[in-house]
Structure 1
């Protein structure tokens, strides 16, 4: 079996060692060296309780805590209670938490510590009924707890610089006292669920069904058992937001939180007041100065949604495709790559553009905080900015956006397939063109989609010369029947190319 020190709470041990001047556990020879994680957790807690400083040295408050002879959490609670005139109240709570529960095992009980405190307050009046174990309360245990509380109170008197006396218990302060002891277990009810809470340490916990008799928005958890997966809350006290603001103002952090609102498709900046992981208050800031964080959040949202969520104009799309066409062919043709140096072109694939949004898009963001506002960005210009003048000239030469055909038209080239670009052109506009046009400085023939006057595909070829000599004559017969007003010559090699009807050719 594991030695107890391997799985125990080390805060009492670390405080004792600090009192001896030992600030690191590895300064001592152990039979079983305690886990460093447990040691660090203990130090963090003791610093929260003001028992040691950031170097691990004990504070005067820490020495007073040792005089009370109990767990540092409870000792800190009792010492802090003097300032709010709740000293005996704190001693009773400390006693309740160190002794066995006053409720019998089969009793109807809740997770509310006030039930125990009220029972102890009524002890003198209910001696006989408690003696008979009525109300499910163990009378002997009540007396034992009262005696332990009296002992704590005597010790507290001895180490307190202020004269204290037993006050009338005020249950409104139970949560405050527990929060002194358990600053990491202040909890807020999750939305839509009365039983589940988020703790200030970031962990979740639930009140078991048989103990669910209250559902306060804020509670402080005194007894927590996480051994069965989801942490169970067995004992707690309520505390309200006003008390947190009044008594734990030093624990409250003011932060600016930048987050993505999925419903509104926009970045929201919120001013938050929080204790640990618990948000007490938050409000939206409409004009935040934290532009970089807003931009980073927006960039991440674009990545999550994919760059298709941006406003890609046809012109921007074509530029992407032309660059990717060149990159593809030069990657697979080392000789061409060496000749033209096209490896210098950036990667304009969707994946690469997504991964480099910080480089090509973020510097041009100003006050944009939503996808709707990003739609106004001129992506073509932003991509062009990534290319030097020399690179732009190479792209114009190797992958021209348009090509002039014999009719005089400048016809767009479709580079959507990086392997094989397409020239879709009306057949009659390329009369007189002997060979298939090329790109990539003559190294890549275009796939020609020859169209009817109504732009319906009639033939697909990468060998225009062969088409004129063979298939054209069959296609011509079909076109003459369907498009009688248009010019369909017998000799396409010498015929005048045109985009007009026969009637309008000479106008």
Structure 2
């Protein structure tokens, strides 16, 4: 639109649109200000040189984004240009005097201290001039070709490199090393030093955490380490445009003070235990790893607790008594022992049980049951016993556990003779829910299941008793069980007891 308007003011003519008409509506009305999209390292270094540690304190037409300023400060700190308080260092002042971006200036100064000023200056030119020395991804090959190239552009580039090399106080040139180019690149881009993570050399992990991609057919794909200069694409898999080999020993020599030891403890759901590792890392790149025989006890407890939080309470070694207690609480509507409540308070009750343990199965089951009773409290225990008693006491005086997890509701299994004399069906809870009575013969074989004992006495009992008298003649089978005496003994045993 701008071009067409200008052309029309000059003379009649034609303006050609170089994109489809449908794309016009989605285009921004103008290019965004450069300060909103650029690397602000140079800007922040200039501000620090002026004594301004926070660019936001200055007046701007367009204020630099806070995230970009923070990233630039992090980068300059890594380049030793700023101290921890954001003030410029002596090294930073030296970088500010050079007509180069801070990364490249840092490379030139530090490489000069190693006798590699010429190589660093030549790399700086190659990174700024695409095509010099060819288009190879391997910057070492490009440098070798460029040094032999003729022509004005190649000569001008070499002249520029010489001028830049003279700007720094440098040691005498060092003898050419196998990885000089990679070393210089690593100085400029320490966060882009990358280690191969796939056998074919296609995937690389960088110190800064970005993932890089490389053509598996590239000669660089067989290297273990690369110093990467230029990349293109997303953070998850940026394509390497230029790089050079570097050895692990040289990486450690350059950045040894940045190597940190990490000790990690992870939960292993397969066995309910932990996996403790000791790692040496340079940024996001793992240099070495092995088992940690003495993991931090607090980290072990935290990993086990997190494992239960993620995998659920079923991972704990609950005893039958503890499971029964929780089922009763669920039936009684007591929230303190529900899954949600126990997970929410996990950090309060579980860690003390894990002291000195490395597996969940090592937890003392009796202690686990004791925790539940502590959580519910004395008053809660009384309420629980009232609403969901653990046992049913029969008229015969026998005690039978109530199964609150049974399908169809709370269930009790007992011999039918134990219920003689009971004319009302037993219930539990405030809502007087009928117990499911699973009635058995003297031999423990099932003969009837009912939620209506009086109905059973008045109905099917006659047929059941007739059949049972033939099978178990020594035991009582009265015609009116609702008025008979409950007993678990034989008829003869009862007679002797009553005589």
TM range (shorter): 0.7 to 0.9
Report how far residue 452 of structure 1 moved.
3.5
Name stretches of at least 5 consecutive residues in structure 2 with no aligned partner: 1-30
Match of 1:223 among 216, 220, 230: 230
Question: Would you say the 8 A contact 1:88–1:167 is kept in 2?
Answer: no
**Alpha-carbon spacing, 1:502–1:198, altered in 2? closer, same or farther (3 Å):** farther
In the alignment, is residue 118 of structure 1 matched against residue 124 of structure 2?
A: no
Match of 1:447 among 428, 436, 440: 436
Q: Distance in 2 between matches of 1:229 and 1:381?
A: 50
Mean Cα deviation higher: 375-384 or 228-237:
375-384
**Secondary structure, in 3 states, of the residue corresponding to 1:493?**
helix
Matches within 5 A, 1:299-448: 299-327=305-333, 345-374=334-363, 378-416=367-405, 420-440=409-429, 443-448=432-437
The corresponding residue for 1:60 is 90
The corresponding residue for 1:150 is 162
**Alpha-carbon spacing, 1:454–1:238, altered in 2? closer, same or farther (3 Å):** farther
Report how far residue 442 of structure 1 moved.
8.6
**Alpha-carbon spacing, 1:112–1:20, altered in 2? closer, same or farther (3 Å):** same
* Alignment size in residue pairs: 466
**Secondary structure, in 3 states, of the residue corresponding to 1:220?**
strand
Name stretches of at least 5 consecutive residues in structure 1 with no aligned partner: 124-129, 132-138, 328-344
Bigger relative contact order (CA 8 A; separation at least 6): 1
Q: Distance in 2 between matches of 1:359 and 1:322?
A: 23
The corresponding residue for 2:19 is none
Q: Deviations over 1:31-64 (max 9, x none)?
A: 2222221111111101111112233322221111
**Secondary structure, in 3 states, of the residue corresponding to 1:42?**
helix
**Secondary structure, in 3 states, of the residue corresponding to 1:15?**
helix
The corresponding residue for 1:242 is 249
**Secondary structure, in 3 states, of the residue corresponding to 1:359?**
helix
Report how far residue 182 of structure 1 moved.
1.1
CA RMSD of superposed structures (Å): 2.8
**Secondary structure, in 3 states, of the residue corresponding to 2:291?**
strand
Q: Distance in 1 between matches of 2:493 and 2:145?
A: 107
TM-score, length-scaled by structure 1? 0.83
Question: Would you say the 8 A contact 1:425–1:451 is kept in 2?
Answer: yes
Report how far residue 448 of structure 1 moved.
2.2
**Secondary structure, in 3 states, of the residue corresponding to 1:433?**
coil
Question: Would you say the 8 A contact 2:353–2:368 is kept in 1?
Answer: no
Q: Distance in 1 between matches of 2:90 and 2:431?
A: 86
The corresponding residue for 2:76 is 46
In the alignment, is residue 270 of structure 1 matched against residue 271 of structure 2?
A: no
Q: Distance in 2 between matches of 1:377 and 1:99?
A: 74
Report how far residue 262 of structure 1 moved.
5.1
Report how far residue 213 of structure 1 moved.
3.9
Q: Distance in 2 between matches of 1:441 and 1:15?
A: 75
**Alpha-carbon spacing, 1:271–1:449, altered in 2? closer, same or farther (3 Å):** same
Q: Distance in 2 between matches of 1:442 and 1:217?
A: 72
Report how far residue 74 of structure 1 moved.
1.0
**Alpha-carbon spacing, 1:61–1:385, altered in 2? closer, same or farther (3 Å):** same
Match of 1:33 among 38, 48, 63: 63
Report how far residue 65 of structure 1 moved.
0.6
**Secondary structure, in 3 states, of the residue corresponding to 1:280?**
strand
**Secondary structure, in 3 states, of the residue corresponding to 1:171?**
coil
**Secondary structure, in 3 states, of the residue corresponding to 1:85?**
coil
The corresponding residue for 2:126 is 96
Q: Distance in 2 between matches of 1:144 and 1:168?
A: 25
Q: Distance in 1 between matches of 2:487 and 2:241?
A: 89
Report how far residue 272 of structure 1 moved.
2.2
**Secondary structure, in 3 states, of the residue corresponding to 1:387?**
helix
Matches within 5 A, 1:189-228: 189-209=196-216, 211=218, 213-226=220-233
**Alpha-carbon spacing, 1:493–1:30, altered in 2? closer, same or farther (3 Å):** same
Question: Would you say the 8 A contact 2:266–2:303 is kept in 1?
Answer: yes
Q: Distance in 2 between matches of 1:355 and 1:422?
A: 31
**Alpha-carbon spacing, 1:506–1:232, altered in 2? closer, same or farther (3 Å):** farther
